[in-house]
Amino acid sequence: MELIISNRLSTLGHPQRLALFRLLMRRYPDRVPATELAQALGIKPNTLSSYVNALMQAGLVTQERAGTSLRYAINLDAARETMDYLLNDCCKGRPDICTPVINSHKAAQKFNVLFLCTGNSARSIFAESILRDIAGDRFVAYSAGTNPRAGLNPFALEVLKQKGHDISVLRSKNISEFQGADAPDFDFAFTVCNQAANEACPAWHGQPISAHWGLPDPVKTEGSDAEKSLSFQQTYGALRNRMITFTALPLATLDRISLQKHVDQIGQSRPEGSSK
């Protein structure tokens, strides 16, 4: 076992292989196409191939073929085994040394939830609005973008108005607004687009439970206004379904590992009509 762990740590000692490993961890449990990984990391396909092969040989990444595309995912069992070895052997199992500080919450407190996408003009804005309206007594919802647009998408605003949401409180925000010393301590952080999940986000205040709830970008829908409107309606519906499931979780009784599994499963639900 010691030799296996040593090999994994040596493999992760390369900065670009570590960056690839971290990206796949952020996207877990998704299987990500090789072309998307290469684009996100800004490397050539043959360079990516050498990195993923090294991670696969170390047992940290798995490969699956879907048609002509190769897709990759984290081998979570191997990743856990590696972390457990470090904790139990190197740290002697002492949580006061190795375990990150996790916020504890009283039942009366609200949970802070951050939704992230690239433009913060549609998907993350939908998520913020839906959570605020269906469970604002238990959650405080925020949203931000890694590269926010100048304004909110008009089709998204129209859907929100039709659904009875207050759009006067909404605006596009940069993630930098939530990085300062006065930023909220987040309990949950969800990415709702693949591009945002592929980017290296900062460590958020509060050590939140994070998950990837990626959905296709309705902003990129082509066709008539009716077709675009339908795409936004479907995205809204998918996020509302996920939010209903999320807010129904018994947060007071679930341990962190169980809660992580639940939010990962929510992210795997697909909108109606999706073939993925």
Q: Which residues are catalytic?
A: 117, 193, 201
Which helix (H) or strand (E) segment is 34 a member of?
Answer: helix 34-41
Q: Minimal CA–CA distance to 269: which of 219, 211, 227?
A: 211
Tokens of 269: 């639900």
Tokens of 215: 């959905």
Cβ atoms of residues 143 and 120 within 8 Å:
yes
Q: Which residues of 199-236 are buried (b: 16+ CB within 10 A; e: fewer)?
A: bebeebbbbbbbbbbbbbbbbebeeeeeebbbbbbbbb
SS3 category, 10: helix
